[in-house]
Amino acid sequence: MSPTPSSVDNPALQGPAFQRLPPWVKAKLSPLAIEKIQAVYDWVENECIPREQIMKAQLEGRRWTTPPLMHELREKAKERGLFNLFLPNHFAESPGLTNLEYSCCAEIMGRCYWAAQTMNCHAPETGNIELLAKYCTPEQKKKWLQPLLDGTAASAYSMTEPDVASSDATQIGISVRREGDEYVINGRKLYGNCLWNKELSFYILMGCSDPNHPNKWSRHTTLIVPCNTPGITQVRNLTIMGYDHAPEGHGEYRYDNVRVPAENVILGEGRAFEIAQGRLGPGRIHHCMRLIGQTERAYELALLRCNDPRKKPRGKLIGEFDSNIERIAQMRLELDAMRLVVLNAADTMDLHGNKAGKRAIAQSKILVPEVACKIIDECMQIYGGQGLTQHTPLPEMWTYARFVRVADGPDAAHRHQVGREEMKSAEAFRKRHQAYQDQYKKLAEQYGEKYISFD
Amino acid sequence: MSPTPSSVDNPALQGPAFQRLPPWVKAKLSPLAIEKIQAVYDWVENECIPREQIMKAQLEGRRWTTPPLMHELREKAKERGLFNLFLPNHFAESPGLTNLEYSCCAEIMGRCYWAAQTMNCHAPETGNIELLAKYCTPEQKKKWLQPLLDGTAASAYSMTEPDVASSDATQIGISVRREGDEYVINGRKLYGNCLWNKELSFYILMGCSDPNHPNKWSRHTTLIVPCNTPGITQVRNLTIMGYDHAPEGHGEYRYDNVRVPAENVILGEGRAFEIAQGRLGPGRIHHCMRLIGQTERAYELALLRCNDPRKKPRGKLIGEFDSNIERIAQMRLELDAMRLVVLNAADTMDLHGNKAGKRAIAQSKILVPEVACKIIDECMQIYGGQGLTQHTPLPEMWTYARFVRVADGPDAAHRHQVGREEMKSAEAFRKRHQAYQDQYKKLAEQYGEKYISFD
Amino acid sequence: MSPTPSSVDNPALQGPAFQRLPPWVKAKLSPLAIEKIQAVYDWVENECIPREQIMKAQLEGRRWTTPPLMHELREKAKERGLFNLFLPNHFAESPGLTNLEYSCCAEIMGRCYWAAQTMNCHAPETGNIELLAKYCTPEQKKKWLQPLLDGTAASAYSMTEPDVASSDATQIGISVRREGDEYVINGRKLYGNCLWNKELSFYILMGCSDPNHPNKWSRHTTLIVPCNTPGITQVRNLTIMGYDHAPEGHGEYRYDNVRVPAENVILGEGRAFEIAQGRLGPGRIHHCMRLIGQTERAYELALLRCNDPRKKPRGKLIGEFDSNIERIAQMRLELDAMRLVVLNAADTMDLHGNKAGKRAIAQSKILVPEVACKIIDECMQIYGGQGLTQHTPLPEMWTYARFVRVADGPDAAHRHQVGREEMKSAEAFRKRHQAYQDQYKKLAEQYGEKYISFD
Amino acid sequence: MSPTPSSVDNPALQGPAFQRLPPWVKAKLSPLAIEKIQAVYDWVENECIPREQIMKAQLEGRRWTTPPLMHELREKAKERGLFNLFLPNHFAESPGLTNLEYSCCAEIMGRCYWAAQTMNCHAPETGNIELLAKYCTPEQKKKWLQPLLDGTAASAYSMTEPDVASSDATQIGISVRREGDEYVINGRKLYGNCLWNKELSFYILMGCSDPNHPNKWSRHTTLIVPCNTPGITQVRNLTIMGYDHAPEGHGEYRYDNVRVPAENVILGEGRAFEIAQGRLGPGRIHHCMRLIGQTERAYELALLRCNDPRKKPRGKLIGEFDSNIERIAQMRLELDAMRLVVLNAADTMDLHGNKAGKRAIAQSKILVPEVACKIIDECMQIYGGQGLTQHTPLPEMWTYARFVRVADGPDAAHRHQVGREEMKSAEAFRKRHQAYQDQYKKLAEQYGEKYISFD
């Protein structure tokens, strides 16, 4: 079971599916993981990427329903055993991969914008499935989780609000008031997919049930809200840099006296923060790995342009300009470095749990979207004027990377979290540096040197 | 006529229209310029910005024709004497502003995406009008220039091609072959507005008339090509980061045996480079100043968010976070610095001509789009999730800035041009440094010190 | 008197002394300024730079006294009328240049590390002279100012302290207690030149005379403290990145019951902040311009290396690598941009006073040292291994630029100051944006479009 | 022998010596490595750092001999079994650590500037020892290698030259001519320690023995040159940013008819490149890890300043400013990311050999010195004025990091190497992308969609 270094020379690990993995990761992959990574690679390369233009064409005329091609591919991927790979192996429902192993799959999925969805590994489904698997009662699981795992239902996570600084989730204000056997919801929400998408089934909504509770972490409650509940109005679909992201979209909502049965509460009233905490870690890693895969593809496109024989400004291939040689090297370096950061975060979660991985996860979330934006932006620039057009998928790639920079809170929020934690370590360092000074004082005497203080 | 320092205390210069101008620029403004800058400010603030959503709504259902609102505003702006302000005062057709003075107007126009168009000061019209005013015969002027000046026709500039590295314009390959009294055009072009726009009148097309001419700067010819000439096909409209930029758009074209009368040649066969050179300077400055105006508006939006009382993560206004205070200061600094760079380029053109301003223009073109992208991107980030949505015009602003980074050639091309020029100055410096060394050798002896060489 | 645009073609302005000046600055130069700029250029190029190694050699054996060469050059410069050029033309003692005009001289001075000192235009003398000229009584002027102007005395400014965050000057804590006709000083100070330098005459010291004054801006007093006053001990000389900066140096001091006559108070007890405010503006501009001049020289050295025929890695001159061509262009751009920023700040002070120039001065202080460090660092890198050695003066240049980044407070402090000011402008923008919205609401009805709010 | 995941919970791994190691590295450490890492940590923390000021004081009066303290500590470290830990376990002479395991030691050594030297793990000794261990005959080993391993001799590596672009080593030009049983050396060299240091024993010198050999990789020969050979003159010691780095230093040399016996050739005439290739990998990793350790200590100092109760600008601790909280988080992220990059490079060398690790090594060399400079620079800035003085060791730290950026070739050279390799991968990507296109063409027909080409 514990993989041995010899696995490094395993012929199954030599192909392009494993090409970018650092040796230490290869050495940790179980036979099942090796098989799944290869299968995901074959799926994405052969079934997804060549169909990208077909998917686009099917969406053209039919904005707010899932295209038939997606249904077809999801059926096939399920048959091939590629569904729900993200669910870590400590869940009963898991196909058996570790976070680290799934991360290798996620990078490959990222090469095609919608490939993860064909494998039921797309946000927000992944986070929602993990949440329901973790916190629901058996009855709830049967009703809400199983259809998601089967891919026959679709869910949304509804947290952000327009009226507060919701990156600080304690401020979430939508009112969730108990009335008899029901909860009544009133207020506004942003994001969490688009109600216009007829295939959306339910929201997992975080609301404020007890605004005056003395403990601010106990004021909120998480509820399951079916989409067809009366009183939910979608004000508009929010575009991201002009893209509508149909059919999933990003709704802006009003809730007017929306009523759901009390049995739809997850974990219990006032326990929304327990749930929110548990939800975010792995999802961030998935996003990051997909972004890395996408950025690798952008990088390949840049290499293609660098070597396109038709494009020779001043008589040289674009890739013969030293400035571009250096740019490519810098991109390669940043891609490889950020992969190491995320894989280490995934490994840390596997070995020590999500909480122990908190810093590494936050670091991934800060680093990857920013670097991905930067690299994809440079790839566009290498294409000159055509770089911003539909000539390549680069504009969609950049937009997705940019979106991830604000999803789950902007960089600054994560930096604040890491930075505040780090400040706490100052006291230990103060003691250590004081000890240096104390020892030096004694040693100065011993060596007959003058003690010098720079205080 | 030559403005005196006392103009600095001119009460007419105290309002917001002049607020961002450096003192040396204010001191150079003629009374006419002061009047026009104020008029442009009033126009943009009162007639344009409040109508932005109206314009958007009118475009919603009617993608490829100019909305009635644009026609209405153009009529009004013309009546108010705000048409064609960009045309520098050395042209007979000019309303009388210098490049520097117009730059002040252009910044204000940039506050609203389409305001320049209401004043007939939009690209590519400005460059085309200047080109026609400079190089056309009186007959050609009457036929092609006058309607543009009157705002009754619309033109496009057609240069870029998909099959070569057209940032190196000597590679332009579309065939322009003389046959009797006509030129026959065959090949492909990119950009240069969209044929789908029914109001587009003609292209100014740069093609290759003599591919084997020994002087590579004499192989190309500039022609006027009416849009309705048979044989022109628009393959598609090119989107920019997903935006179609209707109704002007960015066409991708095929020319199949397109025939135009020989009298449509500008300046003469083989003289396209003379024309291209003259065209670019002022246009780049206009783009840059509009970008600065737009970025100032993005900055205002960031300040609004910083002080929005509803948004208090961790209990503080966004603008009370020191990190954001520093960000705002950095944006302010970069905005002010880049304005100085562009205004100095405009002033250099006024005093010494476009050619003398070449370096300053290239520097503006390198600096402004990059910094504008960066600032607008940070403004979006300050808005968190909402920053990328239609909540603000920031996404369109970023996209326009990003577009300008590749329009007229990517940054790298301009840096190469400046860098190669600079390398030529090394020889003069070598002599100067050699002289230091020679003098030092003599002085060492004189002062009785050992001569030290680090060669 | 008011220079006319025709001065641009003045043959006196064509030489290298004026080469980097933007046209608008050239047009503003008085005949006196043109003469002085040229004289400073000739002085620095012919008398200073060729003697750099001589000065170094003279300092080698004699660390803490001014080398004879410096005395010699100061004599000569004074004879040539090059003394005290920095003192702006509104002072009686001024040689007659504006801040803008002197800025052009200061850039040239910056080409040689110690050239400013030969012309009595070096920090902290410049700030001190301006301070004394502005705030001293005629008696004080005679005693303390005149010798400085004559170059027969040397002064230091003593403000920073090790025990508080002295970038926030209200925290300055050294005790200045009135006792009869004397002030008694107790506490510690950092910087403000080195007592070991026997030619140092007096300190201008800012201390706390009334720690409990309700107005925190009235607690401090500025005193003149002669160096030979008993009770002053120099603990050590502070090195800057390892350099001792002899003979001026940077002292760390103890004041133990140091007594000075009450007549040494400048302006009056409790008025130190009035003085401190007035002191800083022009000095920052001088520093910045000198840094620009120094960075231009670093840039010249980089160009020399780029074209050194002995250095051809992979068979190409270093300057034939496209990456270096782009680097040089970027340096050129940043140099030219930062010069515009500082010259505009100087011009603003001339036209509107130091206070009006506050933002522009702070922006110069933030921008220039950072960019100078960056450019000089890249110049060193272009030299490879030799770049860090005494092969070139680049290491000293970088160190000086790095020093200026913290002198007069670190960047962050200046950014905070600018940022906080900017935040205050949010309210005006809020009103403006509200007005757009209100107008739009009316217009929507008028045009028959639905009013859309993104609130 | 193969460590199991349970080793993660090994109590021996919980202390500060292991605190920064990623879980996957901890899991790979052998019991010997765990013991040695802890011993190195104790040594550096208790014996080295508290003696830093003593070492400085001993060097003050005695620039060019090894201070007695260094001799004392080397004796002790050898007794404690801490000598030569760097030599990888595939050498007979190795103490038994892998590259990965030693990397963990090297980071700790980096905390004190000279700690590595106390353990005989300092450059250039490490590279030289590895070279001699790899390529010498048993006789040569006895004579030259053994004393180095014992710490009784000291060697230098002499490669760089002032007259060529020696980052391209094929240009090395110093003449090494065979005459009978001797080689005669004529020419100039830079770096490679200082002859003034009386304890230096010999140079390993790379020279040109056959300038006309048709294969440019066979023109050079590596020789051992004892320091006391007549004809070697040290022209000067090269300072690094003003530091003399005594007593090791960086010599500039002339070789005039320097004669060494032919038996001093390593590996054979014309085989210098084989040797040079083998030398560089691990040494770069050592440098990088030490830099990381040093940067961690800089970071600790920044945290101390952030929490120094005496420093409260505007009433807040420096570490209470959000901008500094973000800065600290960013430093933490970059430190952790670069450690992962270097550890992965070390691990790759262990598993696949130095050649396979080439890209990862080059990436470490590009990334670490640049980021270390940046972080240490920010730490200095956090200290304000005191940050550049001897108040902290930060200036020496920055200088060392800056030096490593040019040692073994500047960044750009390494980026070029990586970039050129990457360009070669374009062809494989071209095929892959062509396959996507071909498949899409077939699928378009199958799905009844129009085939769209963006060519």
pLDDT in tens, chain C (455 residues): 344 445 567 889 989 999 999 999 999 999 999 999 999 999 999 999 999 999 999 998 788 999 999 999 999 999 999 999 999 998 999 999 999 999 999 999 999 999 999 999 999 999 999 999 999 999 999 999 999 999 999 999 999 999 999 888 999 999 999 999 999 999 999 988 888 888 899 999 999 999 999 999 999 999 999 999 999 999 999 999 999 999 999 999 999 999 999 999 999 999 999 998 777 688 899 999 999 999 999 999 999 999 999 999 989 999 999 999 999 999 999 999 999 999 999 999 999 998 889 999 999 999 999 999 999 999 999 999 899 999 999 999 999 999 999 988 899 999 999 999 999 999 999 999 999 999 999 999 999 999 998 87
Question: How near does any CA of chain A get to the CA of B126, in Å?
Answer: 20
Contact between A268 and A292 under an 8 Å Cβ cutoff? The reply is: no
C323: contact with A, CB 8 A cutoff: yes
Among A121, A150, A179, the domain boundary falls at: A150
Per-residue model confidence as pLDDT tens digits over B165-224: 988 899 999 999 999 999 999 999 998 888 888 889 999 999 999 999 999 999 999 999
Query: How many residues belong to chain D?
Result: 455
Query: How many residues belong to chain B?
Result: 455
Q: Which amino acid is at A104?
A: C
Question: How near does any CA of chain D get to the CA of C437, in Å?
Answer: 33
Chains contacting chain C through 3 or more C-beta pairs under 8 A: A, B, D
Whose tokens are 């350099």? That residue is: C243
C146 and C160 both lie in a single domain = no
Per-residue model confidence as pLDDT tens digits over A64-90: 999 999 999 999 999 999 999 999 998
Q: pLDDT at position B6, please?
A: 52
D321: contact with B, CB 8 A cutoff: yes
Per-residue model confidence as pLDDT tens digits over B226-244: 999 999 999 999 999 999 9
Span D129-133, average pLDDT: 94
Residues of C in contact with D402 (CB under 8 A): 388
C130 and C159 both lie in a single domain = no
User: Is beta strand C232-237 parallel, antiparallel or unpaired with respect to C155-158?
Assistant: unpaired
C146 and C159 both lie in a single domain = no
Q: What is the token pair recorded at A107?
A: 């990078």
Q: What is the token pair recorded at A295?
A: 């950025």
Q: What is the CB neighbour count within 10 angstroms for residue D6?
A: 9
How many interface pairs between C and D have CB atoms less than 8 angstroms apart? 123
Q: What is the token pair recorded at A27?
A: 């050495």
The torsion angles phi and psi of C210, rounded to 5 degrees, stand at: -150, 75
How far CA B158 is from CA of A397, B194, B225, B253, C386, in Å, comes to 29, 11, 10, 10, 50
- Determine, yes or no, domain membership for A5: no
A259 and A306 both lie in a single domain = no
- CA nearest to A186, candidates A257, A252, A253: A257
CA distance C111 to C16: 13
Residues of B in contact with D323 (CB under 8 A): 321-323, 325-326
B394: contact with C, CB 8 A cutoff: no
Question: How near does any CA of chain B get to the CA of D322, in Å?
Answer: 5
Q: pLDDT at position A222, please?
A: 97
CA distance A306 to B347: 38
- Per the CB < 8 Å rule, is C325 touching A323? yes
Question: Could you tell me which residues are beta bridge partners of residue C243?
Answer: C240
Taking each helix axis from N to C end, the angle separating D272-306 and D125-135, rounded to the nearest 10 degrees, works out to 150
Q: What is the token pair recorded at C152?
A: 């027969």
- Per the CB < 8 Å rule, is A238 touching B167? no
**Degrees to nearest 5, angle at CA C50 with C45 and C53:** 140
Q: Is the pLDDT of residue A4 over 50?
A: no
A164: contact with B, CB 8 A cutoff: yes
Question: Could you tell me which residues are beta bridge partners of residue C225?
Answer: C203
Which residues make Cβ contacts (< 8 Å) with residue D320, sequence separation at least 6? none
B254: contact with D, CB 8 A cutoff: no
Residues of C in contact with A321 (CB under 8 A): 322-323
C414 and C339 both lie in a single domain = yes
CA distance A45 to B430: 57
Contact between C50 and B439 under an 8 Å Cβ cutoff? The reply is: yes
Contact between C108 and C18 under an 8 Å Cβ cutoff? The reply is: no
Per-residue model confidence as pLDDT tens digits over C182-198: 999 999 999 888 888 88
Q: Is the pLDDT of residue D5 over 60?
A: no
- Per the CB < 8 Å rule, is C164 touching D411? no
Helix (H, G, I), strand (E, B) or coil at C394: helix
- Determine, yes or no, domain membership for A434: no
Contact between C343 and C293 under an 8 Å Cβ cutoff? The reply is: no
Q: Which amino acid is at A366?
A: I
Question: How near does any CA of chain C get to the CA of D396, in Å?
Answer: 7
Confidence grade of residue D8 (pLDDT, cut at 50, 70, 90):
low
Residues of chain A numbered 194-213 and touching chain B (CB < 8 Å): none
Q: What is the CB neighbour count within 10 angstroms for residue B2?
A: 13
User: Is beta strand A251-261 parallel, antiparallel or unpaired with respect to A182-190?
Assistant: antiparallel
CATH number of the domain within which A180 lies? 2.40.110.10
D244 and D338 both lie in a single domain = no
Asked whether the bond before A313 is cis by omega within 30 degrees of 0, the reply is no
Per-residue model confidence as pLDDT tens digits over A271-280: 999 998 777 6
- CA nearest to D8, candidates A104, A359, A424, A356: A356
**Degrees to nearest 5, angle at CA C163 with C159 and C169:** 40
A288 and A260 both lie in a single domain = no
- Per the CB < 8 Å rule, is B313 touching A386? no
Question: How near does any CA of chain B get to the CA of A169, in Å?
Answer: 9
Entry pTM: 0.96
- Determine, yes or no, domain membership for D185: yes
Q: Which domain holds residue B37?
A: 16-150
DSSP D380-422: HHHTGGGGGSTTSSHHHHHHHHHHHHHTTS-HHHHHHHHHHHH
Q: pLDDT at position D7, please?
A: 56
The torsion angles phi and psi of D134, rounded to 5 degrees, stand at: -85, -40
Q: pLDDT at position B7, please?
A: 55
Span A402-409, average pLDDT: 92
Residues of chain D numbered 79-138 and touching chain C (CB < 8 Å): none
| Strands of B31-163, DSSP E | 155-158
How far CA D67 is from CA of C317, D50, D118, D251, D307, in Å, comes to 44, 16, 12, 19, 36
Q: pLDDT at position C3, please?
A: 42
CA distance C53 to B447: 11
CA distance D168 to D276: 12
Chains contacting chain D through 3 or more C-beta pairs under 8 A: A, B, C
Residue in C with minimal Cα distance to A320: C322
- Determine, yes or no, domain membership for A445: no
Q: Which of C288, C310, C332 to mutate to test the interface with B (most CBs of B within 10 A)?
A: C332
- Per the CB < 8 Å rule, is A389 touching B310? no
A116 and A161 both lie in a single domain = no
CA distance C119 to C78: 7
- Per the CB < 8 Å rule, is D53 touching A440? yes
Pick from A415, A418, A436: which is nearest to D49 by CB? A436
Pick from B162, B321, B455: which is nearest to D322 by CB? B321
CA distance C338 to C345: 11
CA distance D301 to D379: 7
Confidence grade of residue A196 (pLDDT, cut at 50, 70, 90):
confident
- CA nearest to A378, candidates A312, A310, A324: A324
D27 and D144 both lie in a single domain = yes
- Determine, yes or no, domain membership for B244: yes
Among B237, B265, B293, the domain boundary falls at: B265
Question: Could you tell me which residues are beta bridge partners of residue C182?
Answer: C179, C261
Which residues make Cβ contacts (< 8 Å) with residue C189, sequence separation at least 6? C158, C159, C160, C161, C174, C205, C251, C252, C253, C255
- Determine, yes or no, domain membership for A128: yes
Whose tokens are 């923390």? That residue is: D45
B388: contact with C, CB 8 A cutoff: no
- Per the CB < 8 Å rule, is C303 touching B429? yes
Buried b (16+ CB within 10 A) or exposed e, B7-30: beebeebeeebbebbbbbbbbbbb
- CA nearest to A260, candidates A352, A350, A370, A140: A140
- Determine, yes or no, domain membership for D38: yes
B188: contact with D, CB 8 A cutoff: no
Contact between A306 and A319 under an 8 Å Cβ cutoff? The reply is: yes
B160 and B146 both lie in a single domain = no
Residues of chain A numbered 336-365 and touching chain D (CB < 8 Å): 336-338, 340-341, 344, 347-348, 351-352, 359-360, 363
Per-residue model confidence as pLDDT tens digits over D57-70: 999 878 899 999 99
Query: How many residues belong to chain C?
Result: 455
The torsion angles phi and psi of C153, rounded to 5 degrees, stand at: -130, 165
C145 and C161 both lie in a single domain = no
Which residues make Cβ contacts (< 8 Å) with residue B271, sequence separation at least 6? B218, B221, B222
Residues of A in contact with C326 (CB under 8 A): 323
Chains contacting chain B through 3 or more C-beta pairs under 8 A: A, C, D
- Per the CB < 8 Å rule, is D326 touching B323? yes
How far CA B15 is from CA of A243, B18, B20, C2, in Å, comes to 39, 6, 10, 26
Residue in B with minimal Cα distance to A309: B164
- Per the CB < 8 Å rule, is A171 touching B313? yes
CATH number of the domain within which D372 lies? 1.20.140.10
- Determine, yes or no, domain membership for B6: no
Pick from B191, B385, B398: which is nearest to A406 by CB? B385
Pick from B4, B415, B416: which is nearest to C2 by CB? B4
Contact between A247 and A227 under an 8 Å Cβ cutoff? The reply is: no
Residues of A in contact with C321 (CB under 8 A): 322-323
Question: Could you tell me which residues are beta bridge partners of residue B183?
Answer: B178, B260
**What is chain A's Cα-based Rg?**
25
Contact between C288 and C371 under an 8 Å Cβ cutoff? The reply is: no
Quote the DSSP letter at residue B189.
E
- Structural domain total, chain C: 3
Q: pLDDT at position B9, please?
A: 72
Among A150, A167, A184, the domain boundary falls at: A150
Per-residue model confidence as pLDDT tens digits over D91-102: 999 999 999 999
Q: Is the pLDDT of residue D44 over 50?
A: yes
Contact between A261 and A181 under an 8 Å Cβ cutoff? The reply is: yes
- Per the CB < 8 Å rule, is A304 touching D392? no
- CA nearest to A190, candidates D113, B388, C431: B388
A142 and A166 both lie in a single domain = no
Span A317-331, average pLDDT: 97
